[in-house]
Chain A
C-alpha cells in the first residue's frame, strides 16, 4: 500500500513537472534586425542553407558573408553572466536550445568554433595581394648571393 502511494506521488510530481519539459524551447533573442528568411523557413531550412554555402566556400572560394555560420554566430550568440558568449558546451547556446529539444545532434562545432570571433583591430593591409615592401625588398633574389 505504501509502495502504491509512493508510486502515485512520483507520478503526480512527474505530471506536475511535465509542462516545463514538454513546452517549446525559449529561443534566445538575436542581435540583428532581420534574419535571412522568415523564422518558419529558417527553422526548416537553415541546414540546407549552411550545407550549400559550405561547399561553395570550401571548393570555390565563394565567401559572400551574409549567410555563413560565422554570421549566424555574430547575431545569435548568447552571453553568460560575465557578458562572454557561451560555447556549445553550455545548454543556453542558441543552437543547443532547439537541438536539445528536437534531439538532433549538431556536429558543426566538432570543428567550427561555437563562439563568435572576437573582433580584431584591423591593421592588416587590405586589397593588395602584393604589399609594397614585397617589391622593394625583392632584390633578395640575386644570383650572386647564391655563390
Chain B
C-alpha cells in the first residue's frame, strides 16, 4: 500500500489513532464493561440460555491481515497439503468490491452458526446439528461424508477431509471422509476462553472481532448490536446467523 493511498481501512486507522478520546466518548457502553462470564462447570450440559455469537467490525478488519486464519489453523491442527482447492479451511478472508466505485472491504468468513442451519436440515444422519447454545457442529462419528451440507450451506463454510490425516489437534479430531467446519472453538468456549480467531484478532490484528452471548445484556456484543447497525449475511434466507457484521 503506498503512503498516499488512504484506503478505508487505513483512513479508519488514522482516525482511530488521531482521536481515540473522541472515539471513546460515544462508546458509553464501554463503561458498562461486561462481567466476565464464568466457564460452565465441565460436568454440565450446554443449554439454550446462551446464544454464542460473533460481531465483526469490517471497518477495522485489515485487508492484509490473516491473523484469524493462521490462529484457526494452529488451534485446529489444519495442516495444509499445499492444495488450496481441497485443503480444509474453517475461516477465510473474503474481499468485497463495489464494481462501480472500486470500494473494497475485507472480512473474515466462517460458519455463521445459524439458528436455522440449512446444513442440519439436509443432513441424512443427524451428524450436522446445532448445540443448545447455538454452536453448529458436525458429529464426525456419524458423518457419512455425503456432503449435502456443503451444498446446502449458503456461506460455503464447510470443508471435506479428502485425505488420510495424522497428528490431529487433540481438541479437533478429524479424519478422511468427513465434513468439517468452524466449531466456534467450542472446546475453548466450554472452558470459558474466547475463540482462537478472536484472541488473535486482538493480539495481532486490529481487534475487529467481538465474541459473546447474544442473549446476555451484560455482554458487550449484545450492547453493541443494540446500539449500532449490524447485519447478517444473506438475512433474506432467514437462517438467522449468530455471526453479525458491521460496516457492510
Residues of A within 8 A of B (CB): 54-56, 58-65, 70, 87, 110-113, 115-117, 124-146
Query: What are 13 A-B contacts with C-beta separation under 8 Å?
Result: A58-B137, A62-B45, A70-B170, A112-B173, A127-B192, A128-B193, A130-B36, A137-B202, A141-B55, A141-B59, A141-B224, A141-B230, A146-B59
Query: Chain B residues near A141 (CB, 8 Å)?
Result: 27, 55, 57, 59, 210, 224, 228, 230, 246
Task: Say whether B190 faces chain A, with CB atoms less than 8 Å apart.
Answer: yes
Task: Say whether B169 faces chain A, with CB atoms less than 8 Å apart.
Answer: yes
The interface-forming segment of B79-87, B115-123, B125-133, B233-241 is: B125-133
Contact yes or no, B132 A124, CB < 8 A: no
Known: A70-B170, A130-B220, A140-B207. 7 other contacts (CB 8 A): A61-B131, A130-B219, A131-B194, A133-B202, A138-B29, A141-B228, A145-B60
B37, B45, B57: the one within 8 Å of A61 (CB): B45
Shortest Cβ distance from residue B126 to the other chain A in the assembled complex, whole angstroms: 10
Query: Chain A residues near B217 (CB, 8 Å)?
Result: none
Contact yes or no, B43 A62, CB < 8 A: yes
A111 to B132, CA, bound (A): 25
Query: Chain A residues near B44 (CB, 8 Å)?
Result: 62
Contact yes or no, A139 B30, CB < 8 A: yes
A125 to B60, CA, bound (A): 23
Task: Say whether B162 faces chain A, with CB atoms less than 8 Å apart.
Answer: no
The interface-forming segment of B90-98, B149-157, B174-182 is: B174-182
Interface of B is mostly: loop
Contact yes or no, B139 A143, CB < 8 A: no
Given that A54-B141, A112-B168, A142-B59 are contacting pairs, would A129 and B45 also be in contact in the complex, using a CB cutoff of 8 Å? no
A102 to B69, CA, bound (A): 44
Query: Chain B residues near A125 (CB, 8 Å)?
Result: 193, 199
Closest residue of chain A to B46 (Cβ to Cβ) is A61
- Which chain B residues numbered 206 to 232 have a C-beta less than 8 Å away from chain A? 206-208, 210-213, 219-220, 224, 228-230
Contact yes or no, B139 A135, CB < 8 A: no
A135 to B27, CA, bound (A): 10
Task: Say whether B189 faces chain A, with CB atoms less than 8 Å apart.
Answer: yes
Closest residue of chain B to A88 (Cβ to Cβ) is B166
Given that A111-B178, A113-B167 are contacting pairs, would A143 and B45 also be in contact in the complex, using a CB cutoff of 8 Å? no
